[in-house]
Amino acid sequence: MSRSIRKILRGKVISAKMKKTRVVLWEGLKRHPFYSKVMRTRKKLYVDDPQESSKVGDMVEVMETRPMSKLKRWRLLKILQEMK
């Protein structure tokens, strides 16, 4: 029995005020179902970062995971670009 393929998204860390949790802003494009206009969408993802290795401004890659708390459903995979 295999697991389903988990989503992997890239985003920017916008908050690092909580312990072991980062808020990542994901931006993407979505087509309107009726008007077919391409719209820009944004989502705030609450990400588990147990080592607290990421900082505000870093570009990160996150993976969907089981619910860890009320809001946390993503896990930090790697830091793509560090803010200097």
Whether residue 58 lies inside any domain: the answer is yes
Whether residue 62 lies inside any domain: the answer is yes
Quick: pLDDT tens for 18-61.
Answer: 999 999 999 999 999 999 999 999 999 999 999 999 999 999 99
Whether residue 2 lies inside any domain: the answer is no
Confidence (pTM): 0.88
Q: Which pLDDT value is given to residue 4?
A: 76
Whether residue 3 lies inside any domain: the answer is no
Say how many domains are in the chain: 1
Alpha helix ranges (H) inside the chain: none
d(CA 33, CA 57): 33
Q: Which two tokens stand for residue 32?
A: 């309107």
Q: Which two tokens stand for residue 5?
A: 């393929």
Contacts of 41 (CB under 8 A, 6+ apart): 27, 28, 29, 30
Can you give the CATH number for the domain in which 47 is found? 2.40.50.140
Q: Which pLDDT value is given to residue 30?
A: 96
* Domain encompassing residue 38: 8-81
Whether residue 1 lies inside any domain: the answer is no
